[in-house]
Amino acid sequence: MATTTTPPPSPDTGTPSPLMTLRGADFLGIGAMAGAGIFALLGEAGTIAGSAVWISFLAAGLVSLALGYAMAKMGTNYPSSGGLITYLIHGFGNGRLVGVAAWLGYLTAIVVVGAMVAVSFGEYASAIVVGDNNSTLWTKLFASALVLATAFLCIVGPRTVDRAQSVIVIALLAVFAIFVLVTLTHLDTHLLAPSGYPSAKAVVSSVALTFFAYLGFAVISFTGGDLQNPGRNMPRATYIALIVTATLYVAIALGVFGTLTVNQVIEYGPTAIAEAVRPTLGDAGFAAMAVAALLATASSVTATLYASEGLTSALADVGQFPTVFGTTSRLGPHGGLWITTVGTLLFVNVFDLGALASIGSAVSLAVFVLVGVAAIRLRRTIGANLWILLAGVIFSIVVLVVFAVDTYSSDPGAFWTMILLPVLALLLDASWKNRHEASTRAAGGEEQPHRS
């Protein structure tokens, strides 16, 4: 079980006061999702699902709700800053399966997501500050600055994250409301005609990609150690955040693809949302949406780095990650956060994140499937409905299979990279476990048995 921060005493009662409110958990989840998906992936999803992207976002939202149900039930019974990894340990034991899943989840849902969203922030920031003729150097510079700034914000503490996320998300939702009102009242319905939709297979395949836009809801599971009354508030925060975000995604997708052609959305990429309001609101509308993009992506990176500290500390505490990731790290009590920050900066400045987004989404979905299976195994203990759990797991597997087949035919390199990521996670887990077991034997200690 993860070691959590002890809340400061209340001046009135002398008892610990909560570090994270229900509102803060809601805004943390909404902020993580809104920045991760709608700006960074709209163009990418459009290349697969065309103007039917709204269906893809709706389907991915339903999958996320089913998986969110599993996580909420687990979080109610096992509240911890270790989040979904704690749930896997309860479901499968603290063995190699959890170790591999932990490395996969960490690399994709934390490092890749954080880096990709930071790059999206950098693209908007460089476009606003430098202009259209900026170089990728400016994008990487602004992205790196954001990662460092949000890391320091997380170190200040959960209450600061709570307040910052609340302000950002309220402003973001206000701007999005204006966007939805403007675009939906000026729709070109011909652009959304079903006759222009791709095949059903393409739409199902795109769900794996649009699911990436919902990955942020997992950060709510990591508030368990800080959240007031987690047994009651964890499910509420999960469902509210997912429903609000899914509604927002569908409305924005309809607005964008009902204003711009599919080719225009693909061409504009991350700035497509801002371009969609230009015909109606002009440059002022574009500027407002650009500011919203900066807020959304900054909020998402903050939420992702916040979750990383609870995750890495919990994994170090149970022996799944090296102790350098834990609170007793030689790097200090925030060792895991600093390692994640460095890893995110590495991906921002070295790797091409376009292909990794699709791969990371698929691999992350596989990790969420494991959480669903763990919930099925513990369904009587956590009081969960079997049919809801099965629906989430089965549909997720269908999406993964269709996506894998489609990726194999359209991008073999990405397909094999998707296969190699679990192999890399297996090697990382085996390397750490072998070293740990060898040092334990050398010190004359007894190994703790792992249960798979």
Is the pLDDT at 4 greater than 50? The verdict is no
pLDDT for residue 144:
93
Q: How confident is the model at residue 15 (pLDDT cuts 50, 70, 90)?
A: very low
The model's confidence at residue 443, banded by pLDDT at 50, 70 and 90, is low
* Residue 154 · residue 19 · CB < 8 Å: no
Distance CA 346, CA 82 (A): 24
Predicted confidence band at 375 (pLDDT cuts at 50, 70, 90)?
very high
Burial of 8 (0-12, 13-18, 19+ CB in 10 A): exposed
Query: How sure is the predictor about 409, in pLDDT bands with cuts at 50, 70 and 90?
Result: confident
Indicate left, alpha or beta for 86 from its phi (over 0: left) and psi (-120 to 50: alpha).
alpha
Q: Are 91 and 373 in contact (CB under 8 A)?
A: yes
Buried b (16+ CB within 10 A) or exposed e, 83-112: bbbbbbbbbbebbbbbbbbbbbbbbbbbbb
Whether residue 17 is predicted with pLDDT greater than 50 in this model: the reply is: no
More confident position, 392 or 433: 392
Question: Residue 180: exposed, middle, or buried by beta-carbon count in 10 A (0-12, 13-18, 19+)?
Answer: middle
The pLDDT of residue 10 is: 36
- The distance in angstroms from the start CA to the end CA of the chain is 17
Question: 25 or 257: which carries more pLDDT confidence?
Answer: 257
Indicate if the pLDDT at residue 58 is higher than 90. yes
Cβ atoms of residues 376 and 393 within 8 Å: yes
Q: Give the pLDDT confidence of 281-305 residue by residue, as tens digits.
A: 887 878 888 888 888 788 778 777 8
Local confidence band at 2 (pLDDT 50, 70, 90 cut-offs): very low
If DSSP states are collapsed to H, E and C, what string results for the chain? CCCCCCCCECCCCCCECCCECHHHHHHHHHHHHHHHHCCCCHHHHHHHHHHHHHHHHHHHHHHHHHHHHHHHHHHHHCCCCCHHHHHHHHHHCCCHHHHHHHHHHHHHHHHHHHHHHHHHHHHHHHHHHCCCCCCHHHHHHHHHHHHHHHHHHHHHCHHHHHHHHHHHHHHHHHHHHHHHHHHHCCCCHHHHCHHHCCCHHHHHHHHHHHHHHHHHHHHHHHHCCCECCHHHHHHHHHHHHHHHHHHHHHHHHHHHHCCCCHHHHHHHHHHHHHHHHHHHHHHHHHHHHHHHHHHHHHHHHHHHHHHHHHHHHHHHHCCCCCHHHCCCCCCCCCHHHHHHHHHHHHHHHHCCHHHHHHHHHHHHHHHHHHHHHHHHHCHHHHCCCHHHHHHHHHHHHHHHHHHHHHHHHHCHHHHHHHHHHHHHHHHHHHHHHHHHHHHHHHCCCCCCCCCC
- Note whether 112 and 360 are within 8 A (CB): yes
Output the pLDDT for position 13.
37
What pLDDT does 384 receive? 87
Beta-bridge partners for 20: 227
Confidence of residue 440 (pLDDT cuts 50, 70, 90): low
Kindly report the backbone phi and psi dihedral angles of residue 343, in degrees, each rounded to the nearest multiple of 5, phi listed first: -60, -40
For residues 438 and 408, what is the distance between their CA atoms, to the nearest angstrom?
40
Q: Over 60: is that where the pLDDT of 173 sits?
A: yes
% pLDDT > 90, the chain: 8
Q: State the Cα–Cα distance between residues 38 and 57, nearest whole angstrom.
A: 10
- The encoded tokens of residue 386 equal 């079997």
Nearest by Cα to 41 from 201, 213, 169, 192: 213
What is the residue-averaged pLDDT of the chain?
79
pLDDT, tens digit, for every residue of 103-139?
Answer: 887 887 788 778 888 887 888 788 778 876 667 788 8
CATH topology assigned to domain 23-442: Amino acid/polyamine transporter I (1.20.1740)
**% of the chain residues with pLDDT over 70:** 85
For the chain, what are the domain ranges?
23-442
pTM above 0.85, yes or no: no
pLDDT band at 153 (very low <50, low <70, confident <90, very high): confident
With 80 as the cut, is the pLDDT of residue 143 above it? yes
- The pLDDT of residue 165 is 67
Say if CB 206 and CB 249 are below 8 A apart. no
| pLDDT for 161 | 63
Mean pLDDT of 418-423: 80
pLDDT band at 452 (very low <50, low <70, confident <90, very high): very low
Place of tokens 């791969």: 359
- pLDDT-derived band of residue 354, with 50, 70 and 90 as boundaries? low
At 308-337, the pLDDT tens digits run: 877 788 778 877 888 888 777 777 777 888
- Which range among 196-210, 235-249, 342-356 has the greatest average pLDDT? 235-249
- Torsion sign across C-alpha atoms 34, 412, 143, 291: negative
Span 209-260, pLDDT tens digits:
788 778 777 777 777 667 777 778 888 888 998 998 899 889 988 988 988 8
Whether residue 169 has pLDDT greater than 90? no
- Most confident listed range (36-45, 97-106, 243-252): 243-252
Is residue 451 over pLDDT 50? no
